[in-house]
Structure formats: C-alpha cells, structure tokens
Structure 1
C-alpha cells in the first residue's frame, strides 16, 4: 500500500463496561459544563460579557471558494491547482421572506427547534438544562440540543462547530447580542434561509422544491412537519431511504406542536397518517451545482467520498462557511487507492445487469482511504457506502458473526471450546415465544468456536447468541464501530445478520480487530484551514480500547481460518489476512470484510431494489465468490510492494470446554461433547468432499473443504455425497447454491428459516 505512518496502537486492556462507564462520566461532565454555561450567560445577560463581543457587520463573503484536497496534499498547499473539488456560493438556495412562509411551517420549526424562541433573549437556560438532563439519561432517542434558533444561526453564520468551551460561550454571548440588535422576526427569517435540509438544499425555500416540487407558500402541515424534523442531521432521515425514521421525526414534531397548542388533535392524527408517496424520488434529484469535482477524481468514483465530506463539514461549520468562507479542507482520500477500489469493483462487475457493488478501505489510523459508493454520481448520487447519503446499509449476513465471537472472547470463553454444529436445530421459544428453526451446520455436528467461524455454522452461532444475549452482542457491535440504530433487530437472529449495516461501519468495526482491539473512529478530514492558511481545526485519531490484545488476537486467528480453510478461500492474497464472508436470505446481499494489520476493507454486493442475486453469471452470488474476489483484488493492489506483516500471535486460546446448549456457556454439567475426529460421520478439513446429508434428507454444501458426512440419529454414518450443485465445500457460509433433494437449501442462508 502507499504511504502510511507507523501505527501508535494503544495496547491498554479495557472492557466494554469501562467504555460505557466513561460515556456516563462524560455525560455528567457535560452537565456540569452546561450548568456553568447557564451561569456565564446569566452574567452576559447583565451586559458584562456582551459588551466585549463585537458582531460582524455581515456574514462572511460568499465569493471565497472552498477547496477540498486529497491526502497527498501537504498542509498549506491546498489551492485551486491541487484541489480535488471546489465549493462555491452556488448551492441550492432560494431566499424567501418570512411573509412567504406559511404559519404551519414557522410553527413546525419553532416546535422542533426552539419552543421558547419568542420569549428568551437569545439563550434558553431552561432548554439547556432540559437537554443536559435528557443526555444524562443516555437515551439516544430522546437526546435534545440545548441551542436556541438564534444560537444555531450564530454558529452557522459567524462561528464553527468546534466543540470547545470557548466556542460555546462565544456562541451564547453573540446570540444575546444579536437579539439586542436584530428583531426576532429577522433572525427567524435569516435562520430559515440558511439552515441545511438535505438534498443539497439550503433554506426552507429550496427544501420545498427539493422534497415536494412546490413553492414554500404551498407547504401543508404534514410537509412542514417533515421538513422541521430534518433539521437535525437531515441525511439520517432522508424519506426516500429512511421512511420510518422520517415518519418518526415528523410525528415528534407533530407531538410538540400539539403540546404547544399549535394544532388540534384531529390535525395531528390526520397529518401522522399522511402518506409518504408524494415525495420526489431521490434518484431524480439533481446534485448541487455549487460543487465542482476534478475529472481525475470523479472518473474513479471519488465524487461520493467528496460529497460525504461536504455533508460532514457543512454539518460542522455551516453552509455559509463551507460554500463561501474560503476554507481549505484536507481529506484522507488516497487517489491511488480510490482508483484501485473503483477498478476492483468495476472489473468484476462488468456485465450489463450486474448487481451494484461498494467498497470502503480504512487504515490503522482510522483514515478512510477509499470509498466506492457508486459508479456515476451524476446519474445516481446515492452513496451505497454510508448511511444517510442515500445508502442506508444492507443486511450484514454472517459478517455479523465475529461481533458475537468478540463478545465470547471478551467474556473469557475459550475459542477452542466445543459447540454443537448440527445441520438443523430448533430453539424452542427463542423467536419471541415461537420456535426458532435454524439451518446451517458443519464439522460433523460438533466443532470448536474457531471451526464454527471458519465454516460459518449458523446453528453454532445461534446457540452462542442465546447464551451471550442479544443485548451484549449488540453493544459489542456498537463498541467495535457499528453505528446503525439496531432497534428491533436486537434479537437472537441479529447474529445471523438481520440488521442493516453500512459498508463504512462494517469496515470500521473490522478495523478494530486489526488494531488489536482498539477502535479508531473513522475520519475523512484531517485538517481545515482558512484562506490565509491559518488553522481552523485539526483532527487527530480518536482511539477507544474495546478488547484486550489477547481477545482481539484470538478473533483474528479465527478469522484467518476463514480464508485459509473455510468459506473465504477466494479472498486469499498471499500474505496474512483475516476476514469473514456473508450472504443474506435469498442471496439479496453478499459481503466480504477483512483486514491485514494495517489496512481494512469491506465489500458489499446487491441490487438496489433488493431483489435476489439468483442469476449472476448463471448462478447465485454468495460472499465467498464475487465479493471475496473483489476484496482480494483490491487488497493485493493496495498492498503491492509492501512486505507481508504478521498478526500478533493469539498465544493460548484457552482450555477448551463444552458449550452446554441448555445450561449455557461454560457449563461443566453433564457429559462433555465428543471431540470430532476423522472417520465415519465426521467432516475433515483437508479433504475435497463437498456436502453433508442429514437424516432428514437435506443436502448441505460443505462450508469447508472437507469430506461430506451423513448424520444419522446416532451420529454415525458413512461419508455423504456431494451437494447436487457440485460446488466444492468453499461454496460459502450461507448455504448451497442449489436446493437439496428435498427442495430445501441445505444450510439455508444467514437469515435462518426457509420454511
């Protein structure tokens, strides 16, 4: 791979509980800070501080172009000649007067963002305290911002989003002074014309056109409530991609309007039921003309990364600063690796009608080096690599299993422990009181956790999930880097990949294993300067220990076996590497995520409309074939010329012991499960057999390159025949590519029940 600094790994051992405790302490510190801010603003209100702050006579000029540069550009050298993209004051903005905005829209914004706007003097101490207490409770669904509309406007126009006490105090004081000098109505009008609503639209006038193709004066109550709900992080509630989240936010705004007496109960209920099919199809939306991307970058799909950067910096600094403030934004994108990512995907998926593909690569410092979010941004701006920019993530399949393995290692479970791995298993009452029918075994019916991982046994991981608990595994996934709101997906089937995960999040989570258990928050921006070269902000790697070195090394060892002898043989790159395949129900999604010590990448494949990939090159697509091929192609090119680097040895993986399917993990009660040994009824790891046939007649593709077995009631039997599709045992973790003689897929798929 190209230039990368030597890592500075933090090898300190910290449990997930310690991470959560630090989060709680941070929230308490934030409360004390906000209480102090309330006291400061009280003094400011008396005129002591306000008199010392001068408001700029006008917002920053809109004729200074902002430049975005890639990782090869040194600090101080980002300019028109070296830039990968330029941002200027031609973003989609339609200024409107307050008289043109219908009262329902004004009320919706006030209810959503600042209920006491017409009562406070720029800062709302009650709102700050309420927001802090809500944050202390730790519910992400209920966290609130304490900033008033005036403070938000000040931040967007005059300041930056840097998270410092000095900036927060200046924001509060400037808000107070602004309210002393400018009428409330003018502040509100300015705010409505500058706030970002998503889809490249700045201001409520442009948003009305972008979302409803109508003038702002024609907005209805449900439409106004929808727009008001978008103000906080609009990309995470894009109604085209996130209809449920958009509806939830709209309802939150309607609830607030009802509480404030702005609407009646009947209006509330009718608006909540208003359908979403009136919105513009996002695929028809034309991207902002205020962004010019260098052809040398866009030809390899770099537009998607640069648009993601635009969204990030706009959220942080405000649209006026980004589109007219003359900023110099230094990013992590490596042009060479971006070309490798684009070509690795497009060279494999080169036929008409092929599925879409996405790839993200992150180095050991958390820097996003490549992002293949789509083929042609001008034709389709939906970024398949990230949540909120069009792509909302896709079901993870068996790439989610390592998060359960990490939790097991974290709890001290030996990876050499034996666990039942039958072809099928029914877990009574595990599916919300119903029986959970899981298919997909390996290893002759019993194997170690390492074996179950290499062969991606669904039945083994279903048992492991029930013993660990879905909540613990979901928390581990979050600690490792999965930022999706799992919500209802936190159930036993989560381990088999029922939750949507973005390619960026998947890459980030796997990079934690590569970094010896320390999560490094992914970054796309390293430095921001003003036009004169002065520093605005510099972004360092944010490291959070999640697993101990020993725990992470154990997980890596198991994932190495996936490539060396399991479902991911096609991902071999001739040097130490670890990873996991994944395929979802009906082959709608296929994944491979993997890493070397210094570079992590993940590949996703699937159709945008979520139809099955059942006729690609004449067959089904699984994680062990095309995604693994794309991954290995990219990694081989990215690491070309660099000497192979070994992983940290796992050492002693722990004394193996049976995993009792009834009493739970680590139970020594009852007779231990038999140790698999070569012979009748057992799958070996070096054979060339292809399948197993159980007593019920279902045929499984062998998940490892081992001999097939026949599972009789007593556990014996002669070696079974190959699966009917004749595909070797590396066919992938998630089932045969053709059904067995009983018409049922032998190992079904990641999502468990087939019928």
Structure 2
C-alpha cells in the first residue's frame, strides 16, 4: 500500500510530466502555426476559383434556361456584402467568430464532451468547426473525417487568423462556401434561388441562404421549399437571440413571401444549349470568370416546337425541328422526342436523304439558268446514263409548266432540268446555300439522294425567304461577365448575296404554289406560306421545310435505324407538325405577302376551321407527289359560296385539270 508521501511524489511527477507535455505541445503548435503561416498563399491567390466556371444561359426574354458548371457568382468584396447576410451567417455558423483566435475553445470543449458521452455510437465530433476552420477545409482539405485532418484544420485555422483579418476571412467564406444546387458563394446562390445578385439580398433571403450551409441538399429551396422556410426561421430566431436584429425586424421578415427564381427547363431546350454553348470557345476568351450568355431561343416557340413534334411524329419514329428568324436567329430547336431519353441532336448532327426537298436547288439552278415559272416543260419518260426516274403515280402529264412541275414534285421534269443545267451546277447551288455534307453529282441527285442535315436545309430555305441574302444560323446574341462587362455581341452580316432577286422571287413563287395547291397542302396556316415536302424511298424519311412571316422552319421525321415507316410522307406528319408549330410562332407577327404572288381562289389561301384547330382539310385528292388519285377530284367549298364543282375522272394529269385546281384563267395564260 502506497504511503501518502509516495502518492504525493507520483502526483507531482504526473503534474510535471503533464506540464512538460503540454508546454511541448504548445511549442509544437506555435511552430506548426508559424510554418503554416509562411506556407499560406497570398489573399489574392486564395480568392481565385479554380474549381470550374459558371455559365448561365438566358432565353431571348432574359429568363435563365440553364446553369452549367459549378456556379461561382461574382466575387463580392466585404463592403459589397449586405450586413444582414454577414450577421445571418455569423449568428448561425459561428456566433463567437469575432472573439476566438480561429478555434472556439468553448465550442470545441462542448463538442468533445458530447462525443465522449456518445462514444461507441459511431458519432463523430460535430458542431466545433468555426467559420475559419470551414474556410481552411474548403480551400486546403476535404470533408473526410480523421483525427489527423482535424489537427491540420485547427493549425491552418490558427495560421489564417494570424495572417488575415476577420473581414478577409468572412469575405473568403461567403464567396466560397457551398450552398447546394452547384452554387458556391452567396452571389451564385442568390442568382440561382432568387434571380438577382447578392448585393440586394433582403433579411429573409439572407436567412434562407445562411440556413443552407448546414445541409444544402436537405434545405434547398428548389428541392424542399418548406424545409428551407423552416430552417430560415431558425436562423432568424438565432439572430434575434444574438442581438443582431430586433423583435420587430424578426416579425417583419416574411420568409414565406420570398419569391424563388423558377427552375430552368431541362428537357428539349437542352438540344439548343448543347449546340450553342460550344461556340463560346470561339466567341470569347474568358476561362475563369462566370459568364452570362444571352441567346436567341424563344421559350414560347420552343414549347410549341416540342408539342408539334411529340404529337405528330408517327409511332416508333423520331422527329426534329429547327426554326430560324429572318436574320438567322434560332428561335426553336428540337433534336428528338425527349432529351432525357436521348440527347442525340437530330436537328444538327443526323445526316439523312432529303428526298424531293432537295429539288429546291434543282429549280433554283434552272431559274438562274434562264427558266421562269411559266416555262413549258414536258412530263414524259426519260433516261439519263441508264437511269430512268419514274413518277410516284406511274403516269405522265405531257406539257405543263415549271410551276406545276414543282408544285406536284414531278420527278421526270426534275431529272430533265438537272441534265439541262448540269448536275455540278445543282451541287454548287446546294453548297452555296449552306449544305455542308458531300453532294454527289449522279443524275439521281436531283431526287435528294445525298445526305444532308436538317439545320443546313432550313438555313437554305431561310436564305430564300431573305430574298437570296445568305443566312447564318446563330444562337448567342451577347456574352457578359457576371458584373456586366461585355465580351461579345452578335452582328448581322447582310453582305453575301447568293442569287439574284428575280431568282429568289421565282423560287418563292414555286414554293408558295407547292403549299397552296400541291404536295405541301397540309402546311397551310391561314396566311401565305412557301415550302416543300420531301419523302425518301420506302418512306424512310419525311421532310417539310417552309417559311412565313419571317420564320423559316424545317421538320424531319424518321427512324434512327433508317428503317421504312409505313405512311410516312413529307406532306403528312412533317407538314402537319410544321403547321402546328407555325400557327404559334407567327401568331403575333403581321401577315406578310410574298413579293411574287400566285393568283389563287380564296379557299386555297385561307384554310377552314378544321385546318386551324385540327388537322388540315382534305383538299384535292392527290398523292404525296401531287398526282391526282384515280377517280373524281373534289374541291373544297369556298367561304359560303357553295360547291366549286368536280372535274371529270381522269387517268392522267392534263393542263385543263391543273388550271382548274390552280384557279387560273386559261385564256390569260401566256402560250407555252
């Protein structure tokens, strides 16, 4: 049994050892802090954000449609940060921030005691990290838990407090802490959740943001608004307890009245952003600062385009649509039925045969070569280097004019024109108008056997709509930094004239006739429309491209595996999708007459109610290429004027039948 004297000796030894160890530990800590201070980067270096660049993409109306990358908003100096934001964050995260040296002894002791009580339960040391410790963890360490990491965190926090001021540490913290949803820093969080910079944060908004740090995913306003409001209420309570706001201010802060920024759409509009955003590498040279990208996309048109494709594409097929304004601004882009299911953009990447839609270039080359819409041609059997094209009807019409041949997409006439003007000239016309894929010069090329992209074809039709002036599709109007510094703005180029005005007028005449009386009848929308259908062999692809009131729209439908689709023709589902979209797209635009008018009966220019609100009316009973079906060909009624009469059944198209359908006075027509 130890005597009292020996016990005192051992107690003294333990105290001395404890003091020595404690003193040695203190010396080691001081040395570690001094070394850490010397190794810390400068404050300017710490302010840089190497983790990624925020890009916010805006629609034409200014609304945000998508935010990409880790969101680092504008860096705010301490004097730019609202005091309510500083007070909210300090109150809820580290109320003794202004009084401790980087580590809070009171908080650390309390957390240690709780950890001892919960030993064996697997719970970690929690609630002891000061704001300074969080800064060091965010910048230099990671969130993995270990005693060694915790020691390094404490050393670095003490070093930071010796090297930087409290204001500098708060500035770092508020600009770098993670608030959920990809947002780092209060400016990114404010823009994401409230749609405005952090410099204008109100008290309830600051409380919501401050409440996110504890559990960003659980308290995110966009994920669980009620949880965010409840947590913000706790923040306000703590702020009142700490004396940074009064009871009156607490009561006046109506958290439930805070307006959250709407979540940007994540479906079909992503086809557009996937196409437009890679262009930033060419347009601007700013790899670090957050960017505000303003685009041409019209969300109302985008919704209409999505609905038009989804409701009209035949079962088992995909569809794509591109709409271009007169200066090249892309107003809508749909690359498939559903972006989440398939993000492959069929509007910009897929290459498919255009069928008769390619005849646009055939007839423009012919018009440039001296033909006019009234020039007489003969629809008859033809053979070119062993190739004999046939009309889908299996019949021949004899002598007709260019306008009629185009309206009813007669293949033999297109082949003759190709041979006359030269297949190389047609290929050159296609390249001139923006076709970027290879174009073959075999005779069959006049029927659209070369693969093309929908965007390229739509661009070509848009250039026709602009009376022969080249149109270059673009999606970005301007780019600024988060603080408003202009980096890029789009400028329209009207210097490239592709064809003479009279050629543009002539092809517009033909395109309008194709819609009013020919294969594009289903594309009528109650105002002048010019366009062309396209259907490939075995109904693998269906196209419709056309323009009205300054908007040019291209539609493609088909299967990704290029298998045949029963009943798929350009004059059916694609033309119907075109009409469905265009009724919305041009609804608020004035009606524009084309420079070259076709004199037609009123019933052909103005569809009936069924065409407006449902599918197109039946119109003349013609097949996909405009050839009359066997039997009678009834005509729709004029506006209350009664029956227009029915032509006699005929086994072939003759000029009298065509003139009747077109509403022409035969005696006024110039001789062929």
TM bucket normalised to smaller: 0.5 to 0.7
Q: Which runs of 4+ in 1 moved over 4 A?
A: 56-60, 293-296, 315-318, 440-443, 686-691, 704-709, 718-723
**1:426 partner SS:** coil
Task: Give the TM-score of the pair, scaled to structure 1.
Answer: 0.48
Separation in 1, partners of 2:308, 2:322:
12
Judging changes above 3 Å, is the alpha-carbon distance between structure 1 residues 708 and 455 closer, same or farther for their aligned structure 2 residues? Answer: farther
Separation in 2, partners of 1:596, 1:511:
10
Aligned pair partner of 2:627 in 690, 698, 703: 703
Aligned pair partner of 1:87 in 68, 74, 80: 68
Separation in 2, partners of 1:536, 1:637:
34
Q: Deviations over 1:175-224 (max 9, x none)?
A: xxxxxxxxxxxxxxxxxxxxxxxxxxxxxxxxxxxxxxxxxxxxxxxxxx
Separation in 1, partners of 2:304, 2:447:
31
Counterpart position of 1:345: 309
Judging changes above 3 Å, is the alpha-carbon distance between structure 1 residues 537 and 649 closer, same or farther for their aligned structure 2 residues? Answer: same
**2:305 partner SS:** helix
**1:383 partner SS:** coil
**1:594 partner SS:** strand
Which consecutive residues of structure 1, in runs of 5 or more, have no partner in the other structure? Answer: 1-55, 74-81, 91-292, 615-619, 653-685, 692-699, 710-717, 730-755
RMSD: 3.4
1:89-488 equivalences under 5 Å are 296-299=264-267, 301-314=268-281, 316-317=283-284, 321=286, 324-349=288-313, 353-387=315-349, 391=350, 393-422=351-380, 424-427=381-384, 429=385, 434-440=386-392, 444-486=397-439
Counterpart position of 2:483: 532
Judging changes above 3 Å, is the alpha-carbon distance between structure 1 residues 61 and 628 closer, same or farther for their aligned structure 2 residues? Answer: same
Q: Deviations over 1:269-291 (max 9, x none)?
A: xxxxxxxxxxxxxxxxxxxxxxx
Counterpart position of 2:57: 68
Tell me if structure 1 keeps the 8 A contact 2:356–2:409: yes
Q: Is residue 507 from structure 1 mapped to residue 458 from structure 2 by the alignment? A: yes
Q: Deviations over 1:420-453 (max 9, x none)?
A: 213x4322x2xxxx44444447772221111110
Q: Deviations over 1:688-723 (max 9, x none)?
A: 5658xxxxxxxx9752589789xxxxxxxx964599
Aligned pair partner of 1:579 in 494, 513, 531: 531
Q: Is residue 630 from structure 1 mapped to residue 577 from structure 2 by the alignment? A: yes
Q: For structure 1, which segment, 624-633 or 543-552, has the greater mean C-alpha deviation from structure 2 after superposition?
A: 543-552
Tell me if structure 1 keeps the 8 A contact 2:542–2:557: yes
Separation in 2, partners of 1:306, 1:531:
19
Cα shift at 1:372: 0.7
Judging changes above 3 Å, is the alpha-carbon distance between structure 1 residues 294 and 348 closer, same or farther for their aligned structure 2 residues? Answer: farther
Cα shift at 1:368: 0.3
Aligned pair partner of 2:587 in 626, 634, 640: 640
**1:501 partner SS:** coil
Separation in 1, partners of 2:66, 2:525:
34
Cα shift at 1:587: 0.4
Cα shift at 1:296: 4.3
Separation in 1, partners of 2:413, 2:264:
48
1:604-615 equivalences under 5 Å are 604-614=556-566
Counterpart position of 2:111: none
Q: Which has the larger radius of gyration?
A: 2
1:544-563 equivalences under 5 Å are 544-563=496-515
Separation in 2, partners of 1:720, 1:703:
11
Q: Deviations over 1:642-678 (max 9, x none)?
A: 33210112699xxxxxxxxxxxxxxxxxxxxxxxxxx
Cα shift at 1:573: 0.7
Separation in 1, partners of 2:511, 2:473:
22
Q: Deviations over 1:489-526 (max 9, x none)?
A: 23222221111121111111001111111112111111
**2:64 partner SS:** coil
Aligned pair partner of 2:519 in 544, 548, 567: 567
Separation in 2, partners of 1:67, 1:607:
34
Cα shift at 1:309: 1.4
**2:265 partner SS:** helix
Judging changes above 3 Å, is the alpha-carbon distance between structure 1 residues 530 and 453 closer, same or farther for their aligned structure 2 residues? Answer: same
Q: Deviations over 1:80-129 (max 9, x none)?
A: xx421122259xxxxxxxxxxxxxxxxxxxxxxxxxxxxxxxxxxxxxxx
Task: Give the TM-score of the pair, scaled to structure 2.
Answer: 0.53
Separation in 1, partners of 2:458, 2:626:
27
Judging changes above 3 Å, is the alpha-carbon distance between structure 1 residues 706 and 525 closer, same or farther for their aligned structure 2 residues? Answer: farther
